[in-house]
A and B are shown apart, each in its own frame.
Chain A
Amino acid sequence: SAVISQKPSRDICQRGTSLTIQCQVDSQVTMMFWYRQQPGQSLTLIATANQGSEATYESGFVIDKFPISRPNLTFSTLTVSNMSPEDSSIYLCSVDNPRRYNEQFFGPGTRLTVL
């Protein structure tokens, strides 16, 4: 499986600021995804990061709040903008497995706390 890294691994931020999370993969992948996992809950897909075009956002998530970049096939960023305590969560990127249909592998996650 692909080796996926995320930066930062954790951060504590002040209300109203923004944080950009990076996701790096050691091989080229077609699909990259961003998920949120709030305490004690399951994963919710925020958006699909498309290389060369705008991200595709899920219901309840908007580009102004969660801008995403995907400059190439191995890298993506997610920005959490104008943060509030409700944004405290774990943010995970995942990538598809080109050899097995619909399989996804996850990065280690970024644990965000907003004060």
Chain B
Amino acid sequence: RKEVEQDPGPFNVPEGATVAFNCTYSNSASQSFFWYRQDCRKEPKLLMSVYSSGNEDGRFTAQLNRASQYISLLIRDSKLSDSATYLCAVNMREYGNKLVFGAGTILRVKS
């Protein structure tokens, strides 16, 4: 089983839709969780950090479920500009500051 797994996508949604991605992790000792956004041929950019149960920033909400070992990212009122690959990253304490990344979920928002 991979350490971090994501819905493979692609998710094709119309503008204005609400879309949710899931990310499961295998190590129950994981401490902190991150969602990154990566545009084509660009570097990943940090979107949200999750240290406790969740985080919200405008149209974006991340929720952590430690019992089931997954984090989700919810995007409300999708915009064309939200089209990107969303990467989940998990820190595992025993590995120091190492982040393990999922394979990413492709989102395509269409008009």
Q: Which residues of A contact B (CB under 8 A)?
A: 1, 31, 33, 41-45, 48, 92, 96, 100-109, 111
1/0 per residue, CB under 8 A from A, across B70-111: the answer is: 000000000000000001010100001111111110000000
Q: Measured between alpha carbons, how far is A18 from B89 in the docked complex, in Å?
A: 30
A96 touches B97 (CB 8 A): yes
Question: Using a Cβ–Cβ cut-off of 8 Å, how many residues does chain B contribute to the interface with A?
Answer: 23
Quote the shortest CB–CB distance from A102 to chain B (angstroms): 4
Smallest beta-carbon distance B29→chain A, Å: 13
Contact B44 A31 (CB under 8 A): no
Q: Is the CB–CB distance between A48 and B98 below 8 Å?
A: yes
Tell me, in angstroms, the Cα distance from A41 to B85 when the chains sit together: 11
Shortest Cβ distance from B102 into A: residue: A42
Residue of A nearest to B88 (CB): A42
Quick one: given A42-B101, A42-B103, are A103 and B46 in contact (CB under 8 Å)? yes
Q: Is the CB of B49 within 8 A of A106?
A: no
Q: Compute how far the CA of A1 lies from the CA of B44 in the bound complex, rounded to whole angstroms.
A: 13
Asked, given contacts A101-B32, A102-B32, A103-B34, whether A45 binds B99 with beta carbons under 8 Å apart, the answer is: yes
Let me know if B42 is at the binding interface, CB within 8 A. yes
A105 & B46 in contact (Cβ 8 Å cutoff): yes
Q: Which residues of A contact B91 (CB under 8 A)?
A: 102
B16-56 near A? 1/0 per residue, CB < 8 Å:
00000000000000011010000001111110010100000
CB neighbours (8 Å) of A102 from chain B are: 31-32, 34, 91, 97, 99
Contacts of A44 on B, CB cut-off 8 Å? 101
A25 CB to nearest chain B CB (Å) = 14
